[in-house]
Amino acid sequence: MTQTFSVRSSKQTEFIDITRPVQEVVQKAGVKEGLCVIFTPHTTAAVTINENADPSVPRDILMEINKIVSFEDRYQHTEGNSPAHIKSSLVGCSQTLIIESGKLLLGTWQGIFFCEFDGPRNRQVQVKVVKG
């Protein structure tokens, strides 16, 4: 079963917690044991797992990513969003999680984030639940 949901970003770069909608897809699938693949089909966005208890953590990650890959450089891509493409490649467009007892197997402080690097935009996230 694959389900798609929309994410609306409001800034050029931001992390959006998508843990709840992904867990809802897992619950809807009724799979008790298996795998959950989270994928975004955008070349200027990504998906990551990190701490979602303290909002300063995703802000700090974005701050450092934006330092590593600056917005201004001698990029050749004429569309002007090369930094977003690079950040997407560094973070990655998918994550795979274990499902146990019908729930995503995440650490106490972990959450799933949609990473926007070329916003604001309307985006898609695809979730594939595989029975194990």
Tell me which H or E stretch contains 75: none
pLDDT at 132 over 80: yes
Overall number of domains in the chain: 1
Q: Give me the domain span that covers residue 16.
A: 2-131
CA distance 40 to 122: 12
Please give the pLDDT value at position 7.
Answer: 98
Please give the pLDDT value at position 36.
Answer: 98
54 Cβ contact list (under 8 Å, min separation 6)? none
pLDDT band, very low/low/confident/very high, at 1 (cuts 50, 70, 90): confident
Q: The domain spanning residue 98 has which CATH number?
A: 2.60.120.460
CA distance 73 to 42: 22
Which tokens go with 113? 């984030």
pLDDT at 125 over 80: yes
CA distance 50 to 107: 9
- Does the predicted model carry a pTM greater than 0.75? yes
CA 115 to chain centre: 5
Q: Summarize pLDDT for 47-96 with one digit per residue, the tens.
A: 999 999 999 999 999 999 999 999 989 999 999 999 999 999 999 999 99
Q: Summarize pLDDT for 24-53 with one digit per residue, the tens.
A: 999 999 999 999 999 999 999 999 999 999
